[in-house]
Structure 1
Amino acid sequence: MNLIHVKASLLPSPHSLFVFEAAARHLNFATASRELNVTQPSVSHSIKSLEKHCGAVLFVRENRGVQLTEAGRVLYHGVRASFTRMEDSFRAISPEATQYLTLAASTSVAAHWLMPKLYQLQHDHPNLKIKVVTTDRDVEPDSEIDMTIWIRDQTFQRPNTWFICDEVVFPVCSPAYLSNQAPVNGVADLCEHYLLHSFDPHRKRLGWGEWFDLVGAGAVQALPNMVLNDYQLVMQGALSGLLSDGIFQLSCCFKTSFL
């Protein structure tokens, strides 16, 4: 981290900077005094103190007002830019600043399930600002994330969580794959085909063995030919002509957790 240290002796009082900015903006001490709700002599005194601190004349006094000197213009541009940055910072953290509803989910859930629904959500709530954060692991709601979507068993219980929908898992493949492979007349035939599997190190995914057991095929030993740790890659593999156990509808057993 690069840090800039400025000697305190180089900086004048904040009050004198506010007075200088108003006087330089209006080019009139009287107008600046009315804006700041102080007397004109007070403005003149602050400007003289600032000039003494800087060691430079900042204004040329004229009968109908003042003009900035070259030193005054340089200082005004710096002060105005600093004030603008401060104003932007205060605006960003103010209660009236734009607030986003931040949702966290896996890449596959965000791409295939969440994104298609966000269009309708924003259509129904046009003033709602949404931020989507994809993550490779389940995260807890915190000061940065309002809602997180998890895949859990239906028996999962926790305060401030809501069931969204069930998970529907079934094998998928491209028509091109079936046209060049032996026909699939039953679940048992899948064991003879090229199998893809999505492995997630941080989330439990249904494997081929579990799937065969759930559909009533019994304890089938079906090791996948290829294991990928990204669901998008698995789906792309299936589209490219391989067979995948996929959450094709992505209507999963999601649990949402809110801050």
Structure 2
Amino acid sequence: MSLKRALPPLTALIAFEAAARLSSFSRAAVELGVTQAAVSRQIKALEDDLGLPLFRRLHRRVELTEAGATLASRLARAFNDVAAAIADLRRSAGAELVVAATLAFSQFRLLPRLSAFRLAHPDLRLRLVAQDEPVDLARDGVDVTIRYGMGAWGDGEAHFLHDDRVVLVASPAFLARHGPVDTLEAVIAAPLIGYDVPDPTWMRWGDWLAACGRPGPAPVPALRCNHYTDAISAALAGEGITLGWRWLVDRSLALGTLVQVTTAQVVPDGGYYAVTPANRAPKSGALALARWLASEAPNAAS
């Protein structure tokens, strides 16, 4: 049997609960914003539906019958449970979503496009934690972190976003000064920009050249940065050639502030994942962010 058939009208139950709690039809009417006569009608209809009295009508007051006291106790618990569940959902919906990402992903991929996500989710408050040190999802209070790798992490559930490819990038001004750099030998002879890798899955110069068919000792960069963001900033400033992860530098390539030096490209193992904690259900906002990032991906690594 459906709840609609099994239960009396909800308005009658609400009127009864208020009158039972306040021991007064008139005070219940004030709380509910209706007339005392309306409360009386609702409770009389409930009593008719049940076939027994719920209140004893005394001079200027009412008191619950035994049946009324039983129903009032059960309704109070049920309504409190429902109110608590609604409060939890409202807190969850309006809660702050803590998002962790590397400095590079935050600066190059997330922040330039974040306004589109916030426009689609205006009630969601975000806190962005940008750091290259690994985040412990079980301990650090993060709701979703963006990682690059093979998709297997013990502290979370991985939601695949996209793979990537690595190309060589430099500024137009650098290429204008140094002329065309169209062979691997010319690349190795040019000023190169390296970076420290926050994760072993990240590709370095030696890895990239070996994947392009030139194994051997890795070239020594003319400039090495401890953050990938600084390596890209140096390339933008015309300091040399660096490895460009297409999903991160696509905006600079589209604007023409960076250009692809050669047609060579390498597709590394792994991919980008949005990872939610394994020890608790993911927040709806975390899954919405993962879906949005995945939807942004098809044009990113073309």
The alignment's C-alpha RMSD in Å is 2.4
Using a 3 Å threshold, how does the CA distance of structure 1 residues 232 and 221 change in structure 2: closer, same or farther? closer
| Separation of aligned partners in 2, 1:221 and 1:115 | 33
Q: What is the CA–CA distance in structure 1 between the aligned matches of 2:231 and 2:196, rounded to whole Å?
A: 9
What does residue 170 of structure 1 align with?
167
Look up the equivalent residue of 1:131 and give its one-letter code: R
CA displacement 1:57-86 (0-9 Å, x = unmatched): xxxxxxxxxxxxxxxxxxxxxxxxxxxxxx
| TM-score normalised to structure 1 length | 0.57
2:121 is the counterpart of 1:125:
yes
Task: Provide the aligned length of Structure 1 versus Structure 2.
Answer: 164
Does the CA-based 8 Å contact 2:196-2:226 persist in structure 1?
yes
Q: Distance in 2 between matches of 1:101 and 1:119?
A: 15
Q: SS of the counterpart of 1:227?
A: strand
The letter of the residue matching 2:271 is C
Given that 1:104 and 1:148 are in contact with CA atoms closer than 8 Å, whether structure 2 keeps it comes out as yes
2:241 to 227, 240, 243: 243
Q: CA deviation at 1:220?
A: 5.7
User: Percent of counterpart pairs with the same letter?
Assistant: 23
Q: Which residue of 2 aligns with 1:257?
A: 275
Residue 192 of structure 1 is matched in structure 2 by 189
Matches within 5 A, 1:13-162: 95=88, 98-142=94-138, 144-153=141-150, 156=152, 160-162=157-159
Match of 2:74 in 1: none
The 1:208/1:108 distance shift into structure 2, 3 A limit, reads same
For residue 147 of structure 1, report the CA deviation from its aligned partner.
0.6
Q: Please give the per-residue CA displacement for 1:164-201, whole angstroms capped at 9, x wherever unaligned.
A: 1112211111111111214212223201000001113x
State the TM-score, normalized to the length of structure 2: 0.49
| Residue aligned with 1:164, SS | strand
Task: Considering fraction of residues, name the structure with more helix.
Answer: 2
Q: Higher relative contact order by CA 8 Å / sep ≥ 6: 1 or 2?
A: 2
After superposition, give the CA deviation of every residue in 1:128-149 in whole Å (9 maximum; x if it has no partner): 2111111221202246210111
- 1:72-126 residue CA offsets vs partner (Å, 9 max, x unmatched): xxxxxxxxxxxxxxxxxxxxxx855541111001111011112234222222222
Structure 2 residue runs of 5 or longer lacking an equivalent are 1-86, 251-269, 278-302
Amino acid at match of 1:168: R
Contact 1:196/1:226 (CA < 8 Å) preserved in 2?
Answer: yes
Contact 2:143 2:276 in 1 (8 A): yes
Q: Distance in 2 between the 1:117 and 1:180 partners?
A: 33
Question: Is 1:172–1:248's contact at 8 Å kept on the other side of the alignment?
Answer: no
8 Å CA contact retained: 2:164, 2:246: no
Q: Mind listing any 5+ residue stretches in structure 1 that lack a counterpart? A: 1-93
Q: Which residue of 1 aligns with 2:29?
A: none
Amino acid at match of 1:101: L
Alignment CA distance shift 1:230-1:221 (3 Å): closer
